[in-house]
Chains A and B, each alone.
Chain A
Amino acid sequence: MSASRVAFGGPKSPAGRKRRLARSPAAPRPHPALAGLALLAAGAGLGATLAATITSQPASQLSARGGLLTYAGSLTGMIGTYLALIMVLLVSRIPFVERVAGLDGLLRVHRAVAPWPISLLAAHALLLTLGYAEAARAGVWREAGVLLTRYPDVLTATIGLAVMCLIGIISVRAVRRRLRRETWWLVHLWMYLALAISFAHVIVLGPAFVGHPLTQVVWSVAWAATAGLVLCYRFGLPAVRSLRHRLTVAEVRQEGPGVVSVICTGRRLDRLAVSGGQFFCWRFLTRGMWWQAHPYSLSALPQPPYLRLTVKAVGDHSAALASLRPGTPVAIEGPYGAFTRYVQRRPRALLVAAGIGVTALRSLLEDLPRGSAPVVLLRASQPADLVLSTEVRELVRHRRGTIHELVGSRGEAAIDEVSLPRLVPDLAQRDVYVCGPEGFVASIADTARNLGIPEEAIHHEAFAL
């Protein structure tokens, strides 16, 4: 066993057997400057969309009957549609962006921006109907009928908008909590359809496009390129990776109460570039599970031909993992996540995990160099919940680090502004990596901030994606 690796042991190589562990290559280094360029481009697109809308509609139109409403209607429509494009790009898993922001970070932005395109597009439909009705001195309902039946492609766009609104409603936290994750996700996928059937009316009717062939071309290319990125990075690349590595379940191992490790075997895992702390979206190709992919961290770096994930049963899917049979094929999407050694800003690291958050911590720890002297805090409410702690202890020892296992209720084993500096005296020289349930991660991040750790030295990975 090489000094800095700890074998988790596949079925045919019992843990502890001495053998040289092959190292799969690290995931490519993130380049924040590239992500900065992407942000700049996103801003430029927004500005250009705004300008194209404004220049195509002279200000004099504002004084026409219904002019103000139609002007506002076309502005909200254009900005809303542009934001919809950004929403798709945010989840398209463009590698150079994902490496910097992490899939979870991108999804957070996606969720934060989401209300805007939907409400702007709803406003667009409402404002234009009101504006056209005012201009025609017709009733709103009559004008809505005219818009739907006489204007080209408006009917399909309206259906698209209805689907978007439906998706908006089921994504509101209060509603979403009552739905099964899988139901929500499937309905959410209709968004692609909604966007596709709404595309035509923009080009045919939008004042910024009619008679502006250049704008038409740029807009169409932007959408086609976005669709291409989605196809390539959400579907193509995962399919290629899954086929290349052909993972199958080798063994399911009980690690603690409700916690199982799934050990997969695959081909050419020495070519699978992944960094410690990253996760994959796993799709187990068996009855009842094949259609859903769930994000779980690797609980160790690949040890060709083995790959291991460790999961605590909290939902239907994670509970079903315990009954996986050896030989079940596995498809992967990823690796994703920016919770890696690359984001470290200061000389040393403090790694904090609660409960099953130890999985990402364990693989991240493996990526830290020898002599990096990490401090590791593991928190659990009872000793049995400290899963993988033997492996973690071993890895910490190899790196001349320190480990504290805090077991007890939140009150007894609190990590706060008082206890943290006592456990980690050189906190000021360390980056803080936190992994665990959302509430835990938020509280540790707050504590770190209160202790004067700058934002860019606090890295977190919460479970709920």
Chain B
Amino acid sequence: MKRAPWLVAAGAVAGFLGVVGLHKTAAPAALASQGTQPVGQAGHNSQRGPARQAGRRSSPGAATVTTLGAVQRYGYGELAARVSIRGGRITGITVPVLRTAEQYSQQLAVQVIPTLRSEVLAAQGTRINAVSGATYTSQAYALSVQAALDKAHFR
């Protein structure tokens, strides 16, 4: 059949546009709203380790600058990180926006965000390792933190 490639191509264009259109109209509902919950702000993790160290080293009088990174969508949801900087050091990171597609991704994100947070605090930047089993979440976290750092003109 001579027309075969054309039929396949026409179908492909139609299918592509159809799904993109469907995605545009359905996008807001696509993420089951797990609520906007701050992660990594409260809890024992935030007051320990590198954060406190950083706090000690910084000059006592310096003001804290807080910036919110852009909302990063990733394969299984979206998140945004807020970064606090004092005296040229990252002193705290929270995740005020975390919406995931389903419960498992939510649990995974909540589990790995503290790890990612301490990695950023230790590295004082986003040269961090993704957490195995949560590559996409790690990537989105690093991107949003970097956006917040850029906003604060950090380094």
A interface residues with partner B (beta carbon < 8 Å):
32, 35-36, 39-52, 55-58, 60-61, 63-67, 70, 74, 100-101, 131-132, 135-138, 143, 146, 150-151, 207, 210-212, 214, 455-456
Question: Is the CB–CB distance between A64 and B142 below 8 Å?
Answer: yes
Q: Give Cα A42–Cα B10 distance, bound, in whole angstroms.
A: 10
Quick check: which of B47-55, B67-75, B89-97 contacts chain A, the rest being far away?
Answer: B67-75
A136 and B131 within 8 A (CB)? yes
Question: Do B101 and A47 touch across chains, with their CB atoms under 8 A apart?
Answer: no
Q: How far is the CB of A35 from chain B (nearest CB, A)?
A: 7
- The answer, yes or no, to whether B65 is at the interface (CB within 8 Å) is no
**Of the candidates A39, A40, A66, which one forms a contact with B135 in the assembled complex, judged by CB atoms under 8 Å apart?**
A66
Smallest beta-carbon distance A295→chain B, Å: 22
What is the bound-complex CA distance between A67 and B31, given in angstroms?
21
Q: Are B74 and A61 in contact (CB-based, < 8 A)? A: yes
B139: Cβ under 8 A from any A Cβ:
yes
Residues of B within 8 A of A138 (CB): 129, 132
* A39-B4, A48-B15, A211-B77 known, 13 other contacts, Cβ within 8 Å: A35-B1, A40-B11, A42-B8, A46-B12, A51-B15, A51-B16, A56-B75, A60-B72, A60-B73, A64-B140, A131-B135, A146-B133, A151-B133
Q: List 29 A-B contacts (CB under 8 A).
A: A35-B1, A36-B7, A39-B1, A40-B8, A40-B10, A43-B10, A43-B12, A44-B14, A45-B11, A45-B15, A47-B15, A47-B18, A48-B16, A51-B17, A55-B23, A58-B73, A61-B74, A61-B139, A64-B139, A66-B139, A132-B130, A135-B135, A136-B138, A146-B133, A150-B133, A207-B74, A207-B75, A207-B76, A211-B77
Q: Is the CB of B142 within 8 A of A36?
A: no
Residues in B neighbouring A35, C-beta threshold 8 A? 1
Choose among A67, A101, A146 the residue that contacts B139 (Cβ–Cβ < 8 A): A67
Is there an interface contact between B11 and A212, defined as CB atoms closer than 8 Å?
no
Least CB distance from A38 to B in Å reads 9
**Which residues in A have their C-beta under 8 angstroms from that of B139?**
61, 64-67, 70, 135
CA distance A150 to B133 in the complex (A): 7
Return chain B residues, CB-CB under 8 Å to A49.
15
Say yes or no: A47-B14 contact (C-beta < 8 A), given A65-B142, A66-B139. yes
Partner of B16, one of A39, A41, A47, A212: A47
B105 touches A143 (CB 8 A): no
Compute how far the CA of A313 lies from the CA of B136 in the bound complex, rounded to whole angstroms.
Answer: 60
Q: Which residues of the partner chain B approach A101 to less than 8 Å between Cβ atoms? A: 1
Contact A211–B129 (Cβ < 8 Å): no
